[in-house]
């Protein structure tokens, strides 16, 4: 809901300013296009952002404005570098380290 409300407010400001060429940039994720295990909620939200961006672009086109979707992908961090990654043995035998 937040992405929509901010987009709506910025689009109204662009229209009120009457300045052509304004841009709205949404941050997306490749997960919104291809999905991912265990991330149904995230994939659905990001697919929604993609649809919002496409509709926004069509709305702003008549005003010479832009609505773009930035999908930079997922950074590979050390826990994601191996599918077989497991927490250290000490953390599993005595419970999570943050307790």
Q: Known catalytic residues?
A: 42
Please give the Cα distance from 8 to 24 (Å, whole number).
10
């Amino acid at each position: 809901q937040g992405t929509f409300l901010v987009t709506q407010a910025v689009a109204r400001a662009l229209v009120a300013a009457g300045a052509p060429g304004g841009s709205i940039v949404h941050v997306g994720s490749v997960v919104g296009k291809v999905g991912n295990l265990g991330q149904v909620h995230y994939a659905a939200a990001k697919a929604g952002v993609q649809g919002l961006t496409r509709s926004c672009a069509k709305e702003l086109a008549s005003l010479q404005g832009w609505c773009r979707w930035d999908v930079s992908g997922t950074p590979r961090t050390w826990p994601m570098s191996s599918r077989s990654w497991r927490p250290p043995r000490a953390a599993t035998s005595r419970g999570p380290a943050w307790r």
